[in-house]
């Protein structure tokens, strides 16, 4: 029996450690937690984590390159695929300029591979049109946190739950989305004294232990968040000493609330004033951690939502101290790393702003290239600019825009209009249907390097399994592509790439592969090899020249998704425990598919009776942008007027119902969480 392979789980942002047990042929037959990282998941894994070996062995793994010939994908050699891809990119750049090529990068690949992805786009292609999946989940969190605190990242870590007194969960079903983290929080809560506040329109299992459940109307969070801030200020419950010593802008926020109508805001948000007053009691003078998910962010005003929550944390002094902090629940296993490595149109590696001339010169000197100065397009903007002809080619690495982007029927049309679509992935995803060139990639366990979990913990993940057929690690594919385009990259390993990252981005300079191999992970920033890392941000001040955080008054939105006479219900989309994102990995697990084999629509029995609909009946659900058909499930926990459906199935794809406009002006993210719909009998 071969030695088990220690890897980091390729699913959510918790970053659980597990081991792959190998048979005599070197193939994995079991995935389990071995307890090697007691600081994180110990001997626990969720139901998805124990199925990783199924993905590595799956018969549908991409194992050879393809090129579309006469509207059919045909197997080709690597040399032919790379030559065709590079020639196609060169031709498009020659005709239309470098601004005509965009890249969608993954939050599931290694840090070292993300770094090369954005380097390829900036130094080889010659523009900043690079983006990653964070745009569609926590782009607003990253934007608000960076603007107000300095870093677009979680400020706290698990040990803070030993000291916390109140946990405030907004728009997240943590039992399903981040089960191992939530299990750890609940264990700490049982030691006594912890109060839980939940703001969610749905009655999930979290409310069983909640001191307060705010049954907010979907998309109306900014009303109750501002009202809660007003209550705290009116009662004099703000941490005045913290506000005066560690922030700027408090007076601006206070003045902005002078004429704010708390009762009107509560009515708009669907919450009771008495519930908000109790909430205020539970977070003032109590160590509080604020947790939030995509229920808060996936709106056209998502950045303002997060800013309002950051204001509450600053108002109550709940940041930069033990037992306090702000924790957006990042979705994918390396989505934090994707932002850290610079796979964003406005940031370079290490969160250095593109507009910082010194940073551009610094990075450019390492690359022996000029870093373009103009900020690039976000992922939704790239899709839209296909219609205008500004984007002619897309290089998609580990992303599935045909399913994940809003108005997916429109997206499919745009993907077909491209002159060149290169797809680099581990499975034949939906987007591959429109690809001109397909490049097969290796996954976790088949390559080694680092990933960064939702709490900024950088961890090492090992290799020990052969990729299927001719599949290669993403970093090797990128190097071949870059050199075919005229570059001279000579990386021999991810360790060599990481050494360049340490020079390019000072926040990682104290972290080496050797240190990562010998530790349970290191939190960035970490500035030299004697530095222990920074589990809790902002203990010594905030990430600005004056070391002070920024209050930001937020205006009430005019981009709300509300029911109408024609579309009387509000659809809420979300996640299940058994599946993940667009489902391209989890739906290929026999175990997970057996547990949750297909999609469904949850509806309150009272609404179903009024509409003449029955359990398990196939219904037709229509928004202003599309129609889907699916079986109906009755759920008494659903509030009348609201519906719920999971996001993990391509048939139907609920993003076909969502609008691509408007987008958040600060985070450039579309509204993916709620949409007004009507539901009818099918046929």
CATH number at residue 40: 2.20.25.90
Residues 434 and 583 in one domain: no
User: What's the rounded Cα separation, in Å, for the pair 65 and 441?
Assistant: 9
Residues 158 and 299 in one domain: yes
Name the domain count of the chain.
4
Residues 193 and 295 in one domain: yes
303-318 pLDDT, tens digit each: 899 999 999 999 999 9
Does residue 552 form part of some domain?
no
What is the arithmetic mean of pLDDT over 20-42?
90
Instruction: Name the phi and psi angles at 296, rounded to 5.
Output: -95, -30
Residues 82 and 106 in one domain: yes
Does residue 558 form part of some domain?
no
User: What's the rounded Cα separation, in Å, for the pair 498 and 122?
Assistant: 18
Does residue 554 form part of some domain?
no
Does residue 564 form part of some domain?
no
Residue after which a domain boundary falls, among 56, 75, 98: 56
What is the arithmetic mean of pLDDT over 62-77?
95
Confidence band, pLDDT 50/70/90 cuts, at residue 465: very high
| pLDDT at residue 299 greater than cutoff 70 | yes
Residues 262 and 374 in one domain: no
User: What's the rounded Cα separation, in Å, for the pair 260 and 45?
Assistant: 46
The most confident of the ranges 39-43, 191-195, 317-321 is 317-321
Sign of CA dihedral 441, 668, 320, 227: negative
Residues 347 and 491 in one domain: yes
Q: Are strands 347-348 and 352-353 parallel, antiparallel or unpaired?
A: antiparallel
Residues 203 and 237 in one domain: yes
Residue after which a domain boundary falls, among 523, 554, 587: 523
Residues 583 and 646 in one domain: yes
Look at residues 621, 106, 624 and name the one whose alpha carbon lies nearest to residue 333: 106
Does residue 550 form part of some domain?
no
Residue 592's CATH number: 2.40.40.20
| pLDDT at residue 581 greater than cutoff 80 | no
229-262 pLDDT, tens digit each: 999 999 999 999 999 999 999 999 999 888 999 9
Return the number of other C-beta atoms located less than 10 Å from residue 29's C-beta. Answer: 14
Residues in the chain: 683
What is the arithmetic mean of pLDDT over 136-160?
88
Residue after which a domain boundary falls, among 15, 33, 56: 56
Mean pLDDT of the chain: 91
Residues 169 and 252 in one domain: yes
Share of the chain above pLDDT 70, in %: 98
The number of helix segments (H) and strand segments (E) in the chain equals 23, 28
Does residue 549 form part of some domain?
no
Of residues 519 and 138, more confidently modeled = 519
Residue 115's CATH number: 3.40.50.740
Does residue 539 form part of some domain?
no
User: What's the rounded Cα separation, in Å, for the pair 180 and 183?
Assistant: 5
Confidence band, pLDDT 50/70/90 cuts, at residue 1: low
Does residue 559 form part of some domain?
no
User: What's the rounded Cα separation, in Å, for the pair 122 and 130?
Assistant: 8
Sign of CA dihedral 413, 416, 420, 423: positive
Residue 54 pLDDT? 94
What is the arithmetic mean of pLDDT over 636-660?
84
Residues 271 and 393 in one domain: no
Residue 313's CATH number: 3.40.228.10
Tell me the β-bridge partners of 197: 168, 212
Residues 213 and 171 in one domain: yes
532-569 pLDDT, tens digit each: 999 999 999 999 999 999 999 998 776 667 888 999 99
User: What's the rounded Cα separation, in Å, for the pair 247 and 541?
Assistant: 10
Collapsed DSSP state (helix, strand, coil) of residue 517:
helix
The residue range of the domain holding 648 is: 569-681
User: What's the rounded Cα separation, in Å, for the pair 383 and 365?
Assistant: 32
Residues 289 and 361 in one domain: no
Look at residues 137, 170, 166 and name the one whose alpha carbon lies nearest to residue 269: 170
What is the arithmetic mean of pLDDT over 625-639?
90
User: What's the rounded Cα separation, in Å, for the pair 509 and 362?
Assistant: 14
């Amino acid at each position: 029996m071969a030695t088990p392979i220690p890897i980091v789980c390729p699913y959510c942002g918790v970053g659980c450690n597990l081991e792959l047990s190998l048979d005599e042929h070197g193939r994995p037959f079991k995935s389990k937690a071995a307890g090697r990282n007691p600081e994180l998941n110990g001997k626990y894994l969720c139901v998805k984590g124990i199925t990783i070996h199924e993905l590595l062995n799956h018969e549908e793994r991409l194992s050879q390159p393809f090129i579309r010939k006469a509207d059919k994908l045909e197997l080709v050699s690597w040399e032919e695929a790379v030559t065709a891809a590079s020639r196609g990119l060169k031709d498009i750049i020659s005709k239309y300029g470098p601004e005509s090529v965009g890249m969608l990068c993954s939050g599931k690949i290694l840090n070292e591979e993300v770094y090369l992805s954005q380097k390829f786009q900036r130094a080889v292609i010659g523009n900043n049109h690079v983006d990653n999946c964070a745009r569609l989940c926590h782009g607003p969190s990253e934007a608000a946190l960076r603007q107000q605190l300095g870093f677009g990242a979680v400020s706290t870590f698990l040990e803070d739950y030993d000291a916390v007194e109140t946990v405030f969960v907004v728009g997240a079903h943590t039992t399903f989305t981040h089960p191992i983290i939530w299990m750890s929080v609940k264990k700490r809560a049982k030691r006594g004294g912890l109060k839980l506040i939940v703001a969610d329109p749905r009655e999930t299992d979290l409310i069983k232990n909640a001191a307060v459940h705010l049954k907010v109307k979907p998309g109306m969070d900014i009303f109750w968040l501002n009202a809660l801030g007003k209550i705290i200020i009116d009662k004099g419950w703000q941490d005045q000493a913290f506000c005066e010593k560690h922030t700027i802008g408090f007076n601006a926020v206070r003045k902005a609330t002078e004429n704010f109508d708390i009762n009107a805001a509560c009515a708009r948000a669907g919450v009771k004033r008495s519930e908000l007053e109790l909430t205020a009691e539970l977070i003032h003078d109590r160590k509080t951690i604020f947790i939030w998910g995509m229920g808060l962010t996936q709106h056209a005003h998502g950045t303002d939502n997060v800013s309002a929550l950051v204001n509450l944390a600053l108002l109550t002094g709940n940041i930069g101290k033990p037992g306090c902090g702000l924790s957006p629940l990042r979705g994918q296993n390396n989505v934090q790393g994707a932002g850290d490595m610079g796979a964003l149109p406005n940031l370079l590696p290490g969160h250095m702003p593109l507009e910082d001339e010194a940073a551009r010169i610094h990075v450019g000197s390492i690359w022996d290239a000029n870093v373009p100065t103009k900020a690039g397009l976000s992922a939704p903007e790239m899709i839209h600019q296909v219609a205008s002809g500004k984007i002619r080619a897309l290089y998609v690495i580990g992303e599935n825009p045909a399913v994940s982007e809003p108005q997916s029927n429109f997206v499919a049309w745009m993907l077909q209009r491209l002159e060149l679509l290169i797809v680099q992935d581990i499975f034949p995803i939906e987007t591959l249907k429109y690809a001109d060139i397909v490049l097969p990639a290796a996954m976790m366990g088949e390559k080694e390097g680092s990933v960064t979990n939702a709490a900024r913990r950088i961890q090492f993940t090992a290799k020990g399994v052969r990729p299927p057929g001719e599949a290669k690690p993403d970093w090797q594919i990128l190097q071949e592509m870059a050199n075919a385009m005229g570059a001279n990259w000579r990386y021999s390993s991810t360790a060599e790439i990481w050494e360049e990252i340490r020079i390019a981005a000072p926040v990682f300079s104290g972290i080496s592969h050797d240190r990562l191999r010998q530790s349970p992970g290191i939190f960035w920033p970490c500035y030299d090899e004697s530095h222990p890392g920074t589990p809790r941000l902002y203990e010594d001040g905030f990430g600005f020249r004056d070391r002070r955080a920024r209050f930001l008054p937020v205006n009430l939105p005019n981009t709300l998704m509300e029911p109408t006479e024609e579309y009387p219900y509000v659809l809420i989309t979300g996640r299940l425990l058994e599946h993940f994102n667009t489902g391209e990995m989890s739906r290929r697990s026999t175990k997970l598919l057996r547990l949750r084999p297909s999609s469904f629509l949850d509806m309150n029995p009272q609404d179903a009776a009024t509409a003449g609909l029955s359990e398990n009946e196939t219904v037709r659900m229509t928004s202003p942008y599309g129609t889907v058909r699916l079986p109906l499930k009755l759920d008494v926990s659903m509030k009348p007027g609201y519906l719920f459906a999971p996001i993990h199935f391509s048939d139907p794809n609920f993003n076909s119902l969502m609008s691509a406009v408007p987008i958040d002006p600060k985070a450039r993210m579309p509204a993916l969480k709620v949409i007004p719909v009507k539901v009818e009998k099918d046929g």
